[in-house]
Amino acid sequence: MLNILMKLLKQPIIVLIVFFGITLFFLSEMKDNTRMETDLDKYMPQDHPAFIYSDQAAEWFDIKDGIIIAVENPNGIYNTGTLTKIKQLTKDLQKMDEIEKHDVTSLYTADNIVGTDDGMDVKAFYKRVPNTQGKLNELQEKVRSNGMVYGRLVSEKETVSVIIARINDDVFTQEFYNEILELAHSYEGDENIHVAGRPIVEGTMAVLGPADMKKMVPIVLTVIILILLFLLRSVKNTILTMIVVLFSTIWTFGLLAVVGIPIYAVFTTIPVMLIAIGVADGIHLFSHVDLFRVENPTASKMDTIKNMIQEMWKPVVMTSVTTAVGFISLLTSQVYPIKYFGIFTAFGVLVAMVLSLVLIPAGMMIVGLPKVRKIRVHSKNDKQAVVFAHSFASGLLKYKKYTLGITALIIVLSIFGTSKVWINSSFLDKFEKNSDTVLTDKFINENFGGTSTLNLVLESSEKGIFKSPAILDIVDKMQSDVESIEVVGSSFGLTDYLLRMNKVMHADDESYNIIPETSDLIAQYLLLYEMSGDPENLWQVTDFDYQKLNVTFQLKSDDSKSINAAMGRIESYRDEFKSLNIEMNFAGSGYKALVFTDLILKGQVASLLMSLVIVAVLLSFMFKNVVAGLTGTVPIIITAAISFGVMGLLNIPLSTTTALMSSISIGIGIDYAVHFIDRYRENTKKTKNMELAIQRTMHHSGRAIVFNAAVVIAGFMVMLFSVFPPNRELGFLVSLNMFTSFVGTITVMVLIIEQKKLFCKRSNNK
């Protein structure tokens, strides 16, 4: 590889032309083929048993996520103007190509099951908008007496009514999202219009994601350019370093476009990461040139660049490969965005490595090096840096017991914090607490059962089993029990139809608001409904043979704790159903979100272990020393422990975004150990004095590590400006991890090197 780099050094202009050409190609691909993934179901592995079953249940019962439009009139909805808007907005939604007419439910389309002299009938609450107070009062009484509508489509305060438009996953687009919002808000006036539901969350993420990326990239570029100018003291070197990171970012997103992978929400952090990570190679290269020219002020440009390549190509390749391994380990995750994030970020890191080793030397050949006098101006500062580095190393070795004691205390505290880490797959928690998306969801949850759903599917091999009063009594009891949990707003199933029918067939006597007493009576009621109502409604809660039952629970939160709480109560009935040969399964978006969290946890653990093992093996191979390989992993193990401890202590959950944290930290944090051990190994060849070797390494690599850590930390701290809280948490955690990796490298790892007398025996034998 060294020979290849030397040959390329002789054709710098051709190198630049080729790289610029490739960059232009990827830019054109990005322009034509980049798209944002808005369907949150696409984040999940479609071949997972839980998702396969959930999709099957969706076909059985026509389970779909809905857009919820709440029409609020603080003075009450029972007036001609508000009811007209509900009717007209319902009709407008039914006319949209993306929505099937029967999938729009509102007070205008809802069925009102009533008793008649001849039996039972199913009527609309209103077809013509009531225009007298008497008719308005009559409608109000109809709603109040119908538990299937009151509190579900009309709030108990009677100031809000919702319209629910259920849609298929494959019809939602950004254009449709904008059209829905425009339509809904066109009806505002005396009424406030609130739009919520999972599709709206998806659409809002698709809008804010690219906007967030556009905002953060200029900020991180500005911050890093300023820091590089301060650290490198050279405009030329800063420009060359920034070209590397910009090209690597463009190539990464260009490759995404070429292979047809969409932009997931978490991908908005990739530019920030590649910019922050990509400058590391440049910093180490230019830092080496800086020190080489201090020691060799008369060296020619060619000699300086050749020395830089000869001395630094190995550690640059080693650090880039280990960083890439940290990201590639994310392939263990079954969550698509995390898996793809790992692959393409690793690609970007390796591209930055190639560009650093080829483009930077080529650029230096063309634009030249900083003048020698600039180096000499800072020679006094350099001497002071040498003294400080040597003093720090000596003091560290002298007071190593204190360092190890403090480290042990921090690790114990971190282990305690780790026990408090929890997983959260809530998509709403990706938004600010005061954002319109969260506030709208909160408003609807306060007035209705909830915007998140969990579907319970009961199955039996016996036909007609769910016409049995005894079994339906258990289902009804379970629904009431689960609804008693604070996070569960309401539930809906076949039992609700039967309770309503039994009551109206007994002159609305409340004492008959129970499951009918016999199977024959239940069968009669269901037949009457099929004849007078829309049987398609029944097939959303049961199947034709009454062997399957779908019970929908509405939750007031989509976080894992809420879903687990509801499922835990439902699970307490599993044995009772099993004794009746009834199987219990879960489906729907709420359940899939919970499975999603389990996949995140499993992927995180597997990724962490895999990256640690591979990194240790790689380092052992690179340094041809197993002890060196294991020693290099110590700082990142400590860093991982501290990171999870901080998450637990600060109540930061593990999510699709923060799940990336450990692999990122291992990938980047290992760089410090690689550079330090590599330079220390070289220094042991020049001196038999181990303390002197450590002192020299502390000055050379320690200096570059400090620069590297400063830039990476500053780069990731920019993520604190993100509109997404998980991105801010990730920025904080990675910045913290970079600091702890840096500190762990120049303290604990150095003490292990000293204790094990790493490389000293081989040096002494020469």
pLDDT at 572: 95
More confident residue, 91 or 605: 91
pLDDT at 761 over 60: no
Take residue 224 and report the two structure tokens written for it: 């890093």
Of 30-44, 299-313, 387-401, least confident by mean pLDDT is 30-44
pLDDT at 285: 87
Report the distance separating Cα 134 and Cα 70, nearest Å. Answer: 25
**CB 160 within 8 Å of CB 72:** yes
pLDDT at 39: 67
Report the distance separating Cα 369 and Cα 340, nearest Å. Answer: 39
Of 331-340, 406-415, 741-750, least confident by mean pLDDT is 331-340
Of 306-320, 567-581, 601-615, least confident by mean pLDDT is 601-615
pLDDT at 353: 92
DSSP letters spanning 158-169? SSEEEEEEEE-G
pLDDT at 496: 93
pLDDT at 313 over 70: yes
More confident residue, 549 or 388: 549
**CB 649 within 8 Å of CB 417:** yes
pLDDT at 157 over 90: yes
Question: What pLDDT digit, counting tens, does each position of 735-756 carry?
Answer: 888 899 888 888 888 888 888 7
pLDDT at 722 over 90: no
Question: What pLDDT digit, counting tens, does each position of 345-360 carry?
Answer: 999 999 999 999 999 9
Question: What pLDDT digit, counting tens, does each position of 66-81 carry?
Answer: 899 999 999 999 999 9
For residues 31-53, average pLDDT: 76
Among the residues of 45-163, which ranges form H helices? 49-61, 80-94, 133-144
- Residue 368, sorted as left (phi over 0), alpha (psi -120 to 50) or beta, turns out to be left
Predicted confidence band of residue 693 (pLDDT cuts 50, 70, 90) = confident
pLDDT at 682 over 90: no
Return the top range by mean pLDDT from 177-181, 317-321, 529-533. 177-181
pLDDT at 381: 53
Residue with tokens 């790892």: 749
Domains and CATH numbers, the chain: 2-33+203-428+594-765 (1.20.1640.10), 61-202 (3.30.70.1440), 437-593 (no CATH)
* Interstrand relation of 160-167 and 65-72 (parallel, antiparallel or unpaired): antiparallel
**pLDDT over 90, % of the chain:** 32
DSSP bridge partners of 194: 70
3 state DSSP class of 39: coil
| Eight-class DSSP state of 514 | S
Report the distance separating Cα 129 and Cα 141, nearest Å. Answer: 15
Which amino acid would we find at residue 125? F
Report the distance separating Cα 359 and Cα 336, nearest Å. Answer: 33
Residue with tokens 């060296």: 299
pLDDT at 186 over 50: yes
Cα separations in angstroms, 746 against 277, 394, 578, 640, 703: 20, 12, 60, 17, 11
pLDDT at 690: 82
pLDDT at 173: 76
Report the distance separating Cα 743 and Cα 365, nearest Å. Answer: 35
User: Which residue from 672, 684, 701, 700 is spatially nearest to 757, judged by alpha carbons?
Assistant: 684
Phi, psi of 378 (to 5 degrees): -100, 15
Predicted confidence band of residue 153 (pLDDT cuts 50, 70, 90) = very high
pTM attached to this predicted model? 0.76
DSSP bridge partners of 552: 455, 492
Of 121-135, 268-282, 362-376, least confident by mean pLDDT is 362-376
Predicted confidence band of residue 570 (pLDDT cuts 50, 70, 90) = very high
**CB 266 within 8 Å of CB 706:** no
**CB 648 within 8 Å of CB 420:** yes
Predicted confidence band of residue 762 (pLDDT cuts 50, 70, 90) = very low
**CB 663 within 8 Å of CB 608:** yes
pLDDT at 763 over 60: no
Take residue 755 and report the two structure tokens written for it: 């204790």
pLDDT at 371: 61
Report the distance separating Cα 640 and Cα 414, nearest Å. Answer: 9
For residues 164-183, average pLDDT: 84
**CB 256 within 8 Å of CB 274:** no
* Interstrand relation of 488-492 and 119-124 (parallel, antiparallel or unpaired): unpaired
| Eight-class DSSP state of 688 | S
Sign of CA dihedral 72, 75, 78, 81: negative
**CB 521 within 8 Å of CB 569:** no
For residues 291-305, average pLDDT: 84
Predicted confidence band of residue 501 (pLDDT cuts 50, 70, 90) = very high
Which amino acid would we find at residue 151? G
4: how many CB neighbours lie within 10 A of its CB?
10
pLDDT at 378: 45
pLDDT at 1: 64
pLDDT at 377: 40
| HSE-CB of 390 using CA atoms within 13 angstroms | 9
Question: What pLDDT digit, counting tens, does each position of 116-135 carry?
Answer: 877 788 889 999 999 899 99
User: Which residue from 120, 761, 172, 201 is spatially nearest to 502, judged by alpha carbons?
Assistant: 120
pLDDT at 422: 80
Take residue 322 and report the two structure tokens written for it: 């280990």
**CB 316 within 8 Å of CB 280:** no
* Interstrand relation of 65-72 and 192-196 (parallel, antiparallel or unpaired): antiparallel
**pLDDT over 70, % of the chain:** 95
Average pLDDT of the chain, as a whole number: 85
Report the distance separating Cα 395 and Cα 389, nearest Å. Answer: 10
Predicted confidence band of residue 474 (pLDDT cuts 50, 70, 90) = very high
Cα separations in angstroms, 649 against 312, 420, 433, 600: 40, 7, 21, 20
Report the distance separating Cα 200 and Cα 176, nearest Å. Answer: 10
pLDDT at 46 over 80: no
**CB 342 within 8 Å of CB 663:** yes
Take residue 204 and report the two structure tokens written for it: 């809002």
Report the distance separating Cα 244 and Cα 364, nearest Å. Answer: 13
Using the CB atoms, write b or e for 197-215: b if 16+ within 10 Å: bbbbbbbbbbebbeebbee
Of 118-132, 403-417, 649-663, least confident by mean pLDDT is 649-663
Predicted confidence band of residue 87 (pLDDT cuts 50, 70, 90) = very high
Report the distance separating Cα 669 and Cα 537, nearest Å. Answer: 57
401: how many CB neighbours lie within 10 A of its CB?
9
User: Which residue from 376, 327, 373 is spatially nearest to 350, judged by alpha carbons?
Assistant: 327
Burial label for 560, CB within 10 Å (0-12, 13-18, 19+), is buried
Of 35-44, 313-322, 445-454, least confident by mean pLDDT is 35-44
Report the distance separating Cα 124 and Cα 106, nearest Å. Answer: 11
Question: What pLDDT digit, counting tens, does each position of 507-546 carry?
Answer: 888 899 999 999 999 999 999 888 887 788 899 999 999 9
More confident residue, 552 or 199: 552
pLDDT at 678 over 80: yes
pLDDT at 674: 83
Measured CA angle at 497 (ends 492, 500), to 5 deg: 115
More confident residue, 297 or 103: 103
Sign of CA dihedral 531, 532, 538, 539: positive
| Eight-class DSSP state of 118 | T
pLDDT at 530: 85
